[in-house]
Structure 1
Amino acid sequence: MSDSNPSVAVIDDDMSVGRAVKRLLQSVSIGADTYPSGDEFLDTLAAIPRYRPGCVILDIQMPGTNGLEVQRRLSGSGIPVILTTAYDDAGVRSQGLALGAFGNLCKPFNAAILIQAVQAALGIAPAP
């Protein structure tokens, strides 16, 4: 992936969701890296200091380090986080937004809404 293209880290323990989101983003020329766990993503950040995604799409409910903990660890990094979850819990949603989430989407989410949220997080003007 070239440095001139925006990139997104997609973190979801359901690999089919990660692949689908990656393909969707690539269809609008946004590169994406997928991670099956919060731990793997955090390990990559620690191992490769130059790696800095323009945005993170983060599943809340995951084994190991869950999405809210990953978001806490990203706090202060300036990386926008879009939370996703199949369990629409108002308390968890509020907690994520209080931690500074850029947005929160319930699965299954609308592809156009996800693209708009990512474009807004990356500061990309939507295509006409």
Structure 2
Amino acid sequence: MSCPACGEPVVAFVVPPALREHAPAAESAICTSCLRTVAASDAGAAAVAPEDADFSRIHESFPTGKGAVAFALVLGKLDSLALNRPAIQALCDAAERAGTDVALALERLAGASALDPPYDIDRRRQQLASFR
């Protein structure tokens, strides 16, 4: 159960059918450090239902419930806003419909020193605000 990119632990989850077109696989995983999303099988992880996935392993303020999966998939797409813009917008909308405040969640993650994504979370938060 480790990220193929950085070797850190992952949180694996089943992606709801409505979000699968934006996911690496029907069973996906997010790295607890670099925030990349991959197929759960690529990380050697067994996916669980979204409500059973422990996203707090990423950060204690990580969203919960139905919005957590959409938000996790957003994080996996933030490395390239230009290429992933339609997916990011659709996933942000899905997360917000499920009760997740995407901007607030990104703000909280931006201050987490244990995270090491390939992008600046705070800068991405500001960029997202400009096109939403």
What is the TM-score normalised by the length of structure 2? 0.32
What is the TM-score normalised by the length of structure 1? 0.33
Bigger share in strand:
1
Bigger share in helix:
2
